[in-house]
Amino acid sequence: MGKFEDLEVWKRSARLSADLFKMLYSIKDYGFRDQVTRAGLSIPSNIAEGYERLSNKEKSNFLNQYSDINPQELPATALDTRGALPDCPGRVYRA
């Protein structure tokens, strides 16, 4: 069995998290910025935690239950800003 870092879904979610940090770095609305970056960071974290579960059934249940929740926490403007946020370069995220 490999490492969670080898999973394509983890790699993509880690890139999303890094892109969110870069994209929102200069946003002055700290509450918004922190909420979005925390939500983005929780996705690869949940995948890593679920991967460390002992049985395949337990891993599957964990990943199905938790990893699908967090993307719904990300406001649409964080993923597709196109200038909608001040001081934030427009960018459409493509995983």
The domain of 48 spans 4-79
In a domain, 42, yes or no: yes
In a domain, 86, yes or no: no
pLDDT in tens, 1-14: 688 899 898 899 99
Q: How many other CB atoms sit within 10 Å of the CB of residue 43?
A: 25
Q: In a 3-state reduction of DSSP, which class is residue 64?
A: helix
In a domain, 63, yes or no: yes
Backbone angles phi, psi at 40, to 5 degrees: -65, -40
In a domain, 9, yes or no: yes
**Among the listed ranges 20-24, 28-32, 56-60, 65-69, which one has the minimum average pLDDT value?**
65-69
Q: In a 3-state reduction of DSSP, which class is residue 81?
A: coil
In a domain, 89, yes or no: no
In contact, 8 and 91? CB cutoff 8 Å: no
